[in-house]
Amino acid sequence: MRTDKALQESRRFGVKPVPVLRPLGWLARGWQDLRRCPGPSLLHGLLMTLGGALIFWIAHERFWLLAAAFSGFLLVAPILATGLYALSRDIERNKPVGLATVIEAWRPHDGRLMGFGLLLALAGTGWVLCSAALITGYASAPVDKPIDFARHVVLAEHSLLFEAWLALGALLAAPVFASSVIAIPMLLDRRDQSLSILGAVFTSWRVVMEHPQALALWAFLLMALTGLGMLSMIGLIVVLPWLGHASWHAYRDLVGTRD
């Protein structure tokens, strides 16, 4: 019955047609929002970057702890961007924006977002366990530190273990992306509790299935820009809020209301 109800909730929302290259427009509009409210946006980016840097400092010599923390950070990042979605929403509605907007978005009065964050954290744990089983079972030597991973997995001769590891990661990441890409900003937007987590996930999957090429490009842009930001870490201070604002516009561009 819960699944049937979630399907009914999802059917209340139409999926809008968009061209394949529309993700570039989302980036452009996200950049505009970043310029409209640089203070709270860059503060978001600074805090998220400091959190990532702290994780790296604590775990940099323990490969599996670092992998778990890094995976969890990437998966939970869409939840951490909730305040950025709220800023873009209020800019769209011509409302004043500031830190008060962010604080209101983070008030713990919506258990759905916290529940979704927990699910994403569990997904990250599942990936780390699967990754550990693969590497432990097939690596030529024990992998305890990042240098061990580079030596025995990435640079291993006559082995496809690294390629298999990447393929496993993509296989597990794809459904997580499809489930969350639209669902999280959608839950923020529908705070009247008329939409369940499962209903938002079904809508997100419908969007991905109807626009596989555009969403594949969007996933690539998210990963590529995040990777570029990580090269200096400081770049993340700008990249993370930029992508957060752009993700709001992806949701607004793709989902329409039928009721």
Yes or no: say if 199 and 10 are a contact pair by the CB < 8 Å rule. Answer: yes
| pLDDT of the chain, 259 residues: tens digit per residue | 478 888 888 888 889 999 999 999 999 999 999 999 999 999 988 988 887 778 777 766 777 666 766 776 766 777 778 889 999 999 999 888 888 888 777 776 667 877 887 788 788 778 778 888 888 888 888 888 878 888 888 888 778 888 898 888 888 888 989 999 999 899 888 876 678 888 999 999 999 999 999 999 999 999 899 888 878 778 889 999 999 999 999 999 999 865 4
Predicted model pTM: 0.86
The HSE-up count of residue 141 (CA atoms within 13 Å, CB side) is: 14
- What is residue 197's predicted lDDT score, i.e. its pLDDT? 87
Under a CB-based contact definition with an 8 Å cutoff, are residues 105 and 85 in contact?
Answer: yes
pLDDT of res. 225 = 92
Please state, in angstroms and rounded to a whole number, the distance separating the CA atoms of residues 179 and 71: 16
Between CA 166 and CA 130 the distance in angstroms is 12
- Given this model, what pLDDT does residue 24 score? 97
| Total residue length of the chain | 259
| pLDDT of 166 | 84
Establish how many alpha carbons lie within 13 A of residue 188's alpha carbon, considering only the half-sphere containing its beta carbon: 29
**How many Å is the maximal CA-CA distance in the chain?**
59
Which residues, other chains included, contact 129 with Cβ-Cβ below 8 Å and sequence gap of 6+?
none
How many helices (H) and strands (E) the chain has is answered by 13, 2
DSSP state of 257: E
Give me the pLDDT at residue 108, please: 61
Alpha-carbon span 102 to 61, nearest angstrom: 35
